[in-house]
Amino acid sequence: RAKNPNEPEFLQTATEVLNSLRPIVERHPEYQKAKLLERLTEPERIITFRVPWIDDKGEYQINRGFRVQFNSAIGPYKGGLRFHPTVNQSVMKFLGFEQIFKNSLTGLPIGGGKGGSDFDPKGKSDDEVMRFCQSFMTELYRHIGPDCDVPAGDIGVGGREIGYLYGQYKRITGQYCGVLTGKGLSYGGSLARTQATGYGVVYLANEVLSHKGKSFQGQKVIVSGSGNVAIYAAEKATELGAVVIAMCDSNGYIVDNNGVDVATIKEIKEVRRGRIREYVETHPQAEYHEGWQGIWTIPCDIALPCATQNEIDLDAAKSLLKNGCWMVTEGSNMPSTLEAMDAFAEAGILFVPSKAANAGGVAVSALEMSQNSLRLSWTFEEVDSRLKDIMSNIYKNMSAAAQEYGKTPEDYVLGANVAAFIKVADAMMAQGWV
């Protein structure tokens, strides 16, 4: 804590992970001797840089850029770029730290990293976003590469931004290579990458449900957010028979007891870049409420938080539990505060942590890297079927570790942390003092 002042998000994730790794480190004195946990919590490198750009009025703007290259023990750094006004070093380090474990769980050879900027793409013209992305990449390009660090999208960074970033990388380096993932299909992107995180969340939740003799059929589901992860989690849950009754953006939430029409949400958010309140214009039976936190007061069976960190605090958790929610599967990174996680654990509901549940996105990003290296494109069905297998393996590894080390076989938080840690720890031990 003394070493990382003013970094509450990073301390939150480090506390959660280190608490659950205690039993395994106690069984392995060699890890203690090698100061593995101290090394693991210190990023290999943090790059911070100035991003100057000119807005449409001809005025100069300055933002701050980041890339945290956290751990490369099992592969090149891999993790998204976030463009949002709340981005700072603490948020970057929390996301980079989580990424080490998430990437390890995929079973693919990718290390952990994260980056971004406090730039807000909302309300900016396409030209402004392009000029910002070009300036951002003009510094970032020297720190990344297809065998060293491969960024992707995250909040505020979708297909448009990745396109501008890729164009600038290519222009500076003259290299046409898999240096970014989430690319458009016409220039090296992978089918099913757009869907991967949201679908993966539901595939993993479905594995857990089926091992309990349950399914999504007929369950009332809340999906928070209405961005990339939320849209495809809602789409897949609906396909599996769930009724998605509510979604939100950072202004407010909609409730549609007939089941949210995901095609309309896609049209509003992906095509028009509009606000979720516009949903009720074409669906008058639905309600819109200002203030997104109210979404957690709606009774549901399953909650899929897919917006941002700490969106479920203790009050939200209590409200969910009081209203009968019996499963939470996390789509966004660290959506539940430590107090909310304790409340869920105490109530004994099914709780699947984000490190495992949202690993499908980065897994398909790694499959995009493989396709780029092979100079091949796989079909949607092929990528989707690999994604299903990866999520199923994550379930097996997470629940095996929970059974071996956890207090209960459903202690998926501990299971995910331990299963991910062992692979990274072994690689770090083998590579010596690096």
Task: Considering only residues 63 through 102, tell me which ones interact with ligand NDP, judged by CB under 6 A.
Answer: none
* Coil vs helix vs strand at 79: strand
Q: How far is the CB of 414 from ligand NDP (least distance, A)?
A: 21
User: Is 102 one of the catalytic residues?
Assistant: no
For ligand NDP, the closer CB: 349 or 356: 356
Identify which range of 3-11, 132-140, 152-160, 236-244 contacts ligand NDP by CB under 6 A. Answer: 152-160
Q: How far is the CB of 177 from ligand NDP (least distance, A)?
A: 21
Q: How far is the CB of 29 from ligand NDP (least distance, A)?
A: 35
Mask of contacts with ligand NDP, 239-268, x by CB under 6 A? ----------xxx-----------------
Residue 131 phi/psi, 5° resolution? -65, -40
The residue from 361, 366, 399, 411 that contacts ligand NDP (CB under 6 A) is 361
Q: Tell me the C-alpha to C-alpha distance, in Å, between residue 343 and each of 221, 301, 407, 413.
A: 20, 16, 16, 13
Q: How far is the CB of 58 from ligand NDP (least distance, A)?
A: 27
For ligand NDP, the closer CB: 37 or 104: 104
Task: Considering only residues 213 through 232, tell me which ones interact with ligand NDP, judged by CB under 6 A.
Answer: 225-230
Q: How far is the CB of 7 from ligand NDP (least distance, A)?
A: 17
Task: Considering only residues 273 through 312, tell me which ones interact with ligand NDP, judged by CB under 6 A.
Answer: 292, 306-308
Q: Report CA 196 to chain centroid distance, whole Å.
A: 11
Helices (H) and strands (E) in the chain, counts: 16, 12
For ligand NDP, the closer CB: 308 or 336: 308
The residue from 69, 72, 332, 371 that contacts ligand NDP (CB under 6 A) is 332
Contact 101, 137 (CB under 8 A): no
Question: Catalytic one among 114, 124, 183, 236?
Answer: 114
For ligand NDP, the closer CB: 173 or 250: 250
Tell me 146's DSSP state.
T
Q: How far is the CB of 333 from ligand NDP (least distance, A)?
A: 4
Contact 113, 69 (CB under 8 A): yes
Q: How far is the CB of 231 from ligand NDP (least distance, A)?
A: 8
Identify which range of 312-320, 329-337, 371-379, 381-389 contacts ligand NDP by CB under 6 A. Answer: 329-337
Q: In whole angstroms, give the CA distance from residue 219 to residue 216.
A: 5
Q: How far is the CB of 274 from ligand NDP (least distance, A)?
A: 9
One-letter amino acid of 86: T
Residue 115 phi/psi, 5° resolution? -155, -175
For ligand NDP, the closer CB: 335 or 406: 335
For ligand NDP, the closer CB: 312 or 425: 312
Contact 253, 295 (CB under 8 A): yes
Per rule CB under 6 A, is residue 104 in the interface with ligand NDP?
A: no
Per rule CB under 6 A, is residue 155 in the interface with ligand NDP?
A: yes
Bridge partner list, 115: 67, 81
The residue from 106, 197, 206, 219 that contacts ligand NDP (CB under 6 A) is 197
The residue from 128, 154, 161, 411 that contacts ligand NDP (CB under 6 A) is 154
Binding residues with ligand NDP: total (CB under 6 A): 23
Q: In whole angstroms, give the CA distance from residue 169 to residue 180.
A: 9
Per rule CB under 6 A, is residue 151 in the interface with ligand NDP?
A: no
Burial 18-37 (b: 16+ CB within 10 A, else e): eebbeebbeeeeebeebebb
Per rule CB under 6 A, is residue 333 in the interface with ligand NDP?
A: yes
Select from 305, 307, 297 the least CA-distant residue to 341.
305
* Coil vs helix vs strand at 78: strand
Q: Which residue is nearest to ligand NDP (CB)?
A: 227
Lay out the sheet containing 302-304: strands in order across. 287-290, 252-255, 243-248, 220-223, 302-304, 327-329, 350-352
For the chain, helix, strand, coil in percent to 5 are 50, 15, 30
Token pair 């993932």 is found at 181
Q: In whole angstroms, give the CA distance from residue 69 to residue 247.
A: 33
Per rule CB under 6 A, is residue 189 in the interface with ligand NDP?
A: no
Which chain residues interact with ligand NDP by CB under 6 A?
A: 153-156, 197, 225-230, 249-251, 292, 306-308, 331-333, 358, 361
Catalytic positions, please?
114
